[in-house]
Amino acid sequence: MTAHSTITFPIPSAQDQTGLADALVLVTGGTRGLGRTISERLAGAAARVVCVARDVKHVDDMGIGAVPVIGCEPCDISNPEDVSVMIQRVENHFGPIDAMVCNAGIHLDGRFDRQSSWQWNQVIGTNLLGTANCLRAVLPGMRRRRSGRIVMVSSILGCRVMPGASSYCVSKAAINMLIRCTAAENGGSGIRINGVAPGYVETGMGREVENNIELHERVSRALVTQRFAHPHEVADCVSFLLSNQASYINGEIIEVSGGVHDFY
């Protein structure tokens, strides 16, 4: 009888498993709502988180005691010059950006034919063009280093119809294609680009739906789980996609929707 020696494998540390410890992560829209929870989740994984927000007031409210981030940067991401200056300022102060979460977004309700050009441009300018501006600013450095992780926050409305939210739906549908195209273009350079498509979350837009009894009931009936998501459930998915545990996931969009059916 042949004796076999026992093969042992080293148990990786939490740092080795996630690859997030000490990583510099930029989170747009990271000071309130879902973005704030994402910032907290990543900081809890020992990442060095820098939050970006348009409104300086919200940046000032981001106390170190409340959320252990290392920096907060005011920036209008719809302005490409503002973004370039902000990225340069962050990297000069903290070092190369290892990962980015494109979470900043707005929604302005209204039928397509009743929205003004200003309203339409605000939504598209922030949600789509703002995300594109951030990508253009960080991708060259990531390609040079042949390393980078990006998660864009899309929405289930990027592939579903919601009357009265046409500009938001269009912006998120475009984000979905941006995820797939940029992942294909940069995957060979060691960069992973994925998306998270939340359903209704107990914050921000979800809170507004909760205040509309008729809409809330209709949406709830369409959810397998019969409830809205807690923000941390979406943040956990973002953290996973940025981690080494998702090293072979690229160009994907993961729905965190509670099993949503069509609304109409």
Active site residues: 168
In angstroms, the first-to-last Cα distance of the chain is: 68
Q: 3-state class of 73 per DSSP?
A: strand
Q: 3-state class of 117 per DSSP?
A: helix
DSSP assignment letter at 6: P
Two tokens at 244? 């080494």
Are 94 and 118 contacting, i.e. CB atoms less than 8 angstroms apart?
A: no
Q: Measuring CA to CA, how many Å separate 106 from each of 39, 45, 77, 83, 181?
A: 18, 27, 12, 17, 23
Two tokens at 258? 């509670």
Q: 3-state class of 196 per DSSP?
A: strand
Q: Quick count: other Cβ atoms within 10 Å of Cβ 186? A: 20
Give the count of alpha carbons within 13 A of 233, CB side only.
16
Between CA 107 and CA 125 the distance in angstroms is: 11
Q: Measuring CA to CA, how many Å separate 147 from each of 18, 28, 210, 250?
A: 15, 20, 41, 13
C-alpha dihedral (14, 19, 22, 23), degrees to nearest 10: -150
